[in-house]
Structure 1
Amino acid sequence: MSRLPAGEWSAFESGILWWQNRECATAAGTRLRDWK
C-alpha cells in the first residue's frame, strides 16, 4: 500500500467516514421505515 501525503490521507479518511455515516444513516432509515 502506497504512503499518501498527510493532506491526501486525511481527505481519504474523511471520505471513508462520510461513506460509513451514509451507510449507517441509510440502514437506520430503512429500519425506521420497516418499523412503522
Structure 2
Amino acid sequence: MSAQLSPIVSEFETDEQAASYDRRFRAKVLEAMNSTKP
C-alpha cells in the first residue's frame, strides 16, 4: 500500500491516483496533438 501524499505537495491522496491521472492526461494530450482539428 502506498503512503498518503501531502496535500501541500500533491492534489492526489495516493501515488496510484497521481499515476492514473498522469496516464489519462498524457493520452488526452497525445490525442490532441495527433488531431487534425484546428
TM range (shorter): 0.5 to 0.7
Of residues 18, 23, 27, the one that matches 1:18 is 27
* Cα-to-partner distance string for 1:4-31 (whole Å, 9 max, x where unaligned): 10001000011110000000010xxx28
Tell me which structure has the larger Cα radius of gyration. 1
Q: Which of 1 and 2 has higher RCO (CA within 8 Å, sep 6+)?
A: 2
Q: Which runs of 5+ in 2 are unaligned?
A: 1-6
Take 2:30 and 2:20, find their aligned partners in 1: how far apart are those partners?
Answer: 15
Percent pairwise identity: 4
Q: How many residues align?
A: 27
- TM-score if structure 2 supplies the norm length? 0.58
